Structure 1
Amino acid sequence: MKRCLAGEQAMFTKPLEKSKAATIASYKISHILAKNKKPFYDGVMIKECFLEAAESLFVYFKNKAEIISTIKDIQLSRQTVTRRVATINKNLESQNMNDLRDCSYFLLQFDEYTDATDVAQLCIFIRMIFPDMTVKEDFLTMIPLKECTRGVDIYDSFLK
């Protein structure tokens, strides 16, 4: 009876693990797309590449059908990638806020540049020093400068 019960339970946990793995893969691919500034609709093309490569890579594997099925389960539509990147962004912001709360000291660095659409952007970087004297540097935010780029304008934009 125990063996029978374990077999029945495994039937339910295996699809759950497969779905979880597909979701993690979707997040990782979405992160790579965002990090490399690629269009989010490229996720569909990446999935297509995976499927084509899997056909030849896993020819001699006994579980080829299962591997291809798992690749097909990866969600990489434009909307899904957009949601994944937004979730990753919220998580990174949360980590930055937690680090900022935990640090003993912090330094800000401002960098002003003009983007391709001729809009001045203010990038703010932060360096945090923690009680154990470890240092962490990270991108904090980017603020568009709608008016002039004088020191007082940069200061006022930062305070807002």
Structure 2
Amino acid sequence: MTFSKCVCLICQSTIAIPKKGNVERHFRTVHGKYDTDFPPKSELRKRKVKELKSQLSGQQSFFTQQTSKAKTATEASFRVSHIIVNNKKSFKDGEMVKEAFIEAADSLFRDFKNKAEILSSIKALQLSRSTVTRRCEAMAEDLTQQLWKDIIGDCECFSLQLDESTDVSDTAQMCISFVWCLVISLQKKSY
């Protein structure tokens, strides 16, 4: 059963409601000759069921592999985006990094048996300007959430400091400082 639906091992069709009566009716109406071709409790039937199960798991693992490849490509995209931001580079440099990575991989992995798989993984890497921007925004949002959850949420007080001054053209400028104070009381925390 996958996602609360039964999958017939023989014809790969899905039975919507996983009840014993529905499964038996499907088997009798669609696969009526199965009992004569593969008698119950025979060695032939056991081998056939084992073969059908392995075929189904092989088909299902194909989708699992695709999902894991997409997850690793997304993780790699986040890592490269982080490096781009740390080095204060333009978000569009992600495309250049990908192009350089493909060129380097072409010669680095020349003698590898799985070179095509490596190159396809690199090509699946998403590093366009808009993607790098979204990755950076997601990392900033996550960092903000962590800061609020781990530190600022425990603050008991904070203060604002305002300062007004004028610049060389006699235009008023206001500086606002936000200072938070983390007070750890022994009554709240147990050590």
Which of the five TM-score ranges fits, normalised by the shorter chain?
0.5 to 0.7
> 2:128 aligns to what?
77
Shift of 1:100: 2.6
Change (3 A) 1:7 1:103: same
Verify: 1:26 aligned to 2:77, yes or no. Answer: yes
> 1:11 aligns to what?
62
**Number of residue-to-residue matches in the alignment:** 126
Counterpart-to-counterpart distance in 2, 1:3 and 1:50? 38
Verify: 1:41 aligned to 2:88, yes or no. Answer: no
Shift of 1:103: 3.3
Q: Deviation per CA, 1:132-151, whole angstroms, max 9, x where unpaired?
A: 67xxxxxxxxxxxxxxxxxx
Counterpart-to-counterpart distance in 1, 2:174 and 2:112? 54
Which has more radius of gyration? Answer: 2
In the superposition, the TM-score normalised over structure 2's length comes to 0.56
Please identify which structure carries the higher strand content: 1
Counterpart-to-counterpart distance in 2, 1:53 and 1:120? 51
Structural RMSD (CA): 3.0
Question: RCO greater where, 1 or 2, for CA within 8 Å and sep 6 or more?
Answer: 1
Which consecutive segments of 4 or more residues in structure 1 shift more than 2 A?
Answer: 100-108, 119-133
Q: Deviation per CA, 1:81-114, whole angstroms, max 9, x where unpaired?
A: 0111011111110000001355366888x9xxxx
Change (3 A) 1:126 1:64: farther
Shift of 1:29: 0.7
Counterpart-to-counterpart distance in 2, 1:36 and 1:124? 27
Counterpart-to-counterpart distance in 2, 1:86 and 1:56? 34
Counterpart-to-counterpart distance in 1, 2:147 and 2:94? 28
> 2:110 aligns to what?
59
Counterpart-to-counterpart distance in 1, 2:66 and 2:126? 15
Change (3 A) 1:64 1:102: same
Shift of 1:33: 0.9
Letter in 2 for 1:20: K
- Are the counterparts in 1 of residues 94 and 129 from structure 2 also a CA contact under 8 Å? yes
Counterpart-to-counterpart distance in 2, 1:66 and 1:101? 46
- Are the counterparts in 1 of residues 84 and 90 from structure 2 also a CA contact under 8 Å? yes
- Are the counterparts in 1 of residues 158 and 181 from structure 2 also a CA contact under 8 Å? yes
Q: Deviation per CA, 1:49-108, whole angstroms, max 9, x where unpaired?
A: 110111111122211101100100111011110111011111110000001355366888
Counterpart-to-counterpart distance in 2, 1:86 and 1:73? 21
Counterpart-to-counterpart distance in 1, 2:73 and 2:96? 16
The unaligned stretches of length 5 or more in structure 2 are: 1-51, 162-172
Counterpart-to-counterpart distance in 2, 1:103 and 1:19? 37
